[in-house]
Amino acid sequence: MGVVFTRANVYLGKSLFLISNKVTGPDIDMETTTITHGLGSFDVNTAFKAMKASINIQGYDKDVFRSVANPYSELNFTIYGSLDEYTNETLAKSEQAKLIIRASSQKFALLPELEAQKNPDWNIDFNASAAKLYIEGKEEYAIDNINLIYRIRGVDLLTKVRKNLALN
């Protein structure tokens, strides 16, 4: 059995932005602190590190470049794809995957790498401050570093922290 993520349609706001051949969603990476006591020490998770994301497209589109060229503007992406599960050659299951990312441009080329007789690959890297993943319309996770939100399947793990900080 194998699972394939087929091409992704990427929307910027409500407009179809591009079709991507590769999307790298943000990693959830934790900051830790070490607690030391008389018998030893251990690490505990304390905060989220900055998140990164990237989108790779084939071809060059000046409207895409214009949208990502301002590294100080907020970009809100919605990425739709299909998670297709195969048993041998048979398509056994297909589920919609939707990833929502709030980000700003971090790195992009003025032109993609150009090679004769080939579609150019253009990779765009983003600083992501929030991300939500839905499978078949159900929220799997939501993280928002700015607003101290972290939910796993609807359970908000930072409710008490926001209350302690008088943010609720």
User: Which two structure tokens, joined as six digits, stand for 136?
Assistant: 């078949």
What is residue 60's predicted lDDT score, i.e. its pLDDT?
A: 66
Pair 79, 12: CB distance under 8 Å: no
Residue 127 and residue 50: Cα distance in Å, rounded?
7
What is residue 132's predicted lDDT score, i.e. its pLDDT?
A: 95
Residue 1 has pLDDT above 60, yes or no: no
Residue 56 has pLDDT above 60, yes or no: yes
What is residue 150's predicted lDDT score, i.e. its pLDDT?
A: 93
Cβ neighbour number for residue 108 with a 10 Å cutoff = 19
Nearest to 14 by CA among 80, 60, 73: 80
64 or 108: which carries more pLDDT confidence? 108
Residue 77, amino acid: F
pLDDT tens digits for range 20-53: 878 888 888 888 999 998 889 999 988 888 899 9
pLDDT tens digits for range 3-15: 677 778 888 888 8
pLDDT tens digits for range 92-146: 888 999 999 999 999 887 777 777 777 777 788 999 999 999 999 999 999 999 9
Pair 54, 44: CB distance under 8 Å: no
Residue 26, amino acid: P
